[in-house]
């Protein structure tokens, strides 16, 4: 009988006390594309946000650190709060046109 079992969610676990799991979670160290090749999309969203509008920036290709830096830059420029989650920069409020203009000024030429 096997000491390794699979759960319904696909997770595998072992009851073997000598089992060693050398799995380390992958870090998103993807190579960040140059600014002029980033295809960023800026849109407004209010779904599941109690009717409050946020500005989303999506489509960034690169490391999480670079995305976090971009998010911080945008939050500072807008003077508002926000976060970076699941590959999206989320800025509180309607800043769509301003963000598009700033991104283009900063070299993100393919921003829409």
pLDDT in tens, 29-69: 578 889 999 999 999 998 888 889 999 999 999 999 999 99
Q: Encode pLDDT of 60-109 as tens digits.
A: 999 999 999 999 999 999 999 999 999 999 999 999 999 999 999 999 99
| Contacts of residue 92, Cβ cutoff 8 Å, sequence gap at least 6 | 52, 54, 80, 81, 82
The rounded distance, in Å, linking the Cα atoms of 76 and 70 is: 10
Q: Residue range 8-35: average pLDDT?
A: 66
Is residue 54 within 8 A of residue 44, CB to CB? The reply is yes
State the number of CA atoms in the 13 A half-sphere of 50 facing the CB.
Answer: 1
- The per-residue pLDDT for 11 is 66
- The per-residue pLDDT for 79 is 95
The rounded distance, in Å, linking the Cα atoms of 112 and 109 is: 9
* Domain 28-105, CATH class in plain words: alpha beta
Q: Which region holds residue 81: left if phi is over 0, alpha if psi is between -120 and 50, else beta?
A: beta
């Amino acid at each position: 009988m096997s000491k390794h079992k699979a759960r319904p969610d696909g997770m595998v676990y072992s009851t073997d006390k000598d089992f060693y799991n050398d799995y380390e979670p992958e870090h998103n160290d993807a190579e960040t594309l140059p600014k002029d090749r980033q295809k960023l999309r800026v849109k407004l969203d209010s779904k599941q946000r109690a009717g409050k509008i946020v500005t989303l920036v999506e489509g960034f290709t690169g490391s999480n650190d670079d995305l976090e830096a971009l998010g911080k830059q945008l939050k500072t420029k807008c003077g508002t709060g926000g976060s970076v989650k699941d590959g999206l920069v989320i800025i509180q409020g309607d800043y769509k046109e301003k963000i598009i203009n700033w991104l283009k000024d900063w070299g993100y030429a393919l921003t829409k």
